[in-house]
């Protein structure tokens, strides 16, 4: 079972590395297997990895999903404790939040993929000549696609990665096009039951922005880096048309619990079935399942139009 997610965990997933550079698409193709390497441009620089690594360790749920989506699942020997999708991923006790170099090295990886350079894990692995790809949390859609392509290049699955990103783009465009009348609707995206939210500058906020939805948290953000904590009074006054709950698994929130909060039963979103219960994982992992998140938003918009 996924442990309770605190705001610190949320930030660790989506905020700590927002300033870091994502992997580029200017990597140099290798010459195949049999000792040959491929150079991939990641946030930690140009990284030479085996042309088709056979012992990959992933310390990022998003990248775990990507590796399996592009057909590299059989090359993965271990994933972190949060990587619960797909179900056949080799989940271990390895931590992405408190990575331990010795524990990772014990799996004899020829490639390690992670989102955050916590506890100096990148240098620790580089010292023992383990190739590491640092692919931070994406800050915009193009970066999410770019990271999938990086992993495709690094694992020998460039064609599959191209197919995955192409499919994602097409699905997202289709969903958004079907909800073109969403402009003007307001929304609130809840990260936890302490009323922390996201603004339009964040990755999640940009996804909602595809529909032209107006974020009530924007005016409340002063110095929180895009993740403000709203007051109950402010939220009730804003009375958003749609409320998206990204704390259903971590904090047990749902439409029924929301309606029991003091004053919330009077909100239009509560009265008109405009409360949407998101899958925490899908809403916070910006990889191959991103179209599913977009589809949920599109369906919600359709209901209130």
Residue spans per domain, the chain? 7-158, 173-304
Note the pLDDT of residue 182.
73
Q: Is the pLDDT of residue 57 over 70?
A: yes
7-158 matches 173-304 in fold:
yes
Q: Is the pLDDT of residue 15 over 80?
A: no
- Tens of pLDDT, residue by residue over 115-131, are 999 999 999 999 999 99
- Give the dihedral sign, CA 167/170/173/177: negative
Percent of the chain with pLDDT over 90: 81
Which structure tokens are listed for 98? 């408190």
Query: What is the pTM for the complete model shown?
Result: 0.87
- Find where tokens 């698994």 sit: 249
What average pLDDT does range 20-30 have in this prediction?
Answer: 38
What average pLDDT does range 60-65 have in this prediction?
Answer: 98
Note the pLDDT of residue 223.
72
Q: Which of 76, 52, 55 is nearest to 66 (CA)?
A: 76
Q: Is the pLDDT of residue 47 over 80?
A: yes
CATH number of 7-158: 3.40.50.1980
3 state DSSP class of 2: coil
- Tens of pLDDT, residue by residue over 146-177, are 999 999 999 999 999 999 999 999 999 999 99
34 falls in which pLDDT band (50, 70, 90)?
A: low
What average pLDDT does range 98-106 have in this prediction?
Answer: 96
Percent of the chain with pLDDT over 70: 87
Note the pLDDT of residue 242.
97
- Contact in structure between 204 and 138 (CB atoms under 8 Å): no
Note the pLDDT of residue 225.
84
| Mean pLDDT over each residue of the chain, to the nearest integer | 89
- Tens of pLDDT, residue by residue over 240-286, are 999 999 999 989 999 999 999 999 999 999 999 999 999 999 999 99
45 falls in which pLDDT band (50, 70, 90)?
A: very high
Q: Is the pLDDT of residue 20 over 90?
A: no
How far is residue 105's CA from residue 150's CA, in Å, rounded to a whole number? Answer: 22
3 state DSSP class of 96: coil
What average pLDDT does range 194-201 have in this prediction?
Answer: 95
CATH topology of domain 173-304: Rossmann fold (3.40.50)
What average pLDDT does range 220-231 have in this prediction?
Answer: 87
How far is residue 269's CA from residue 249's CA, in Å, rounded to a whole number? Answer: 21
Q: Is the pLDDT of residue 224 over 80?
A: no
Note the pLDDT of residue 33.
52
């Amino acid at each position: 079972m996924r442990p309770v997610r605190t705001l610190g965990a949320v930030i660790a997933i989506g905020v700590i590395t927002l300033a870091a550079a994502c992997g580029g698409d200017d990597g140099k193709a290798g010459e195949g297997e049999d000792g040959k390497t491929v150079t991939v441009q990641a946030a930690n620089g140009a990284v030479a990895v085996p042309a088709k690594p056979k012992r990959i360790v992933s310390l990022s749920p998003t990248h775990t999903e990507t590796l399996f989506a592009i057909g590299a699942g059989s090359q993965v020997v271990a994933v972190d404790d949060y990587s619960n999708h797909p179900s056949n991923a080799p989940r271990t006790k390895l931590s992405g939040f408190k990575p331990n170099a010795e524990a990772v090295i014990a799996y004899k990886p020829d490639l390690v993929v992670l989102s955050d350079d916590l506890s100096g894990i990148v240098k620790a692995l580089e010292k023992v000549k383990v190739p590491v790809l640092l692919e931070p949390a994406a800050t915009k859609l193009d970066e999410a696609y770019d990271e999938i392509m990086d992993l495709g290049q690094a694992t020998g699955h460039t064609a599959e990665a191209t197919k995955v990103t192409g499919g994602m783009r097409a699905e997202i465009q289709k969903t958004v096009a079907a909800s073109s009348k969403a402009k003007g609707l307001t929304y609130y995206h809840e990260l936890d039951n302490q009323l922390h939210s996201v603004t339009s500058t964040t990755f999640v906020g940009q996804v909602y922005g595809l529909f032209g939805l107006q974020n009530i948290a924007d005016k409340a953000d002063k110095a929180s880096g895009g993740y403000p904590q709203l007051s109950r009074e402010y939220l009730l006054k804003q009375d958003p048309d749609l409320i998206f709950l990204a704390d259903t698994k971590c904090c047990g929130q749902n439409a029924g619990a929301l309606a029991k909060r003091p004053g919330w039963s009077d909100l239009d979103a509560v009265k008109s079935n405009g409360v949407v219960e998101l899958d925490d994982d899908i809403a916070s992992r910006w990889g191959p399942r991103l179209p599913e998140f977009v589809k949920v938003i599109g369906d919600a918009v359709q209901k209130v139009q």
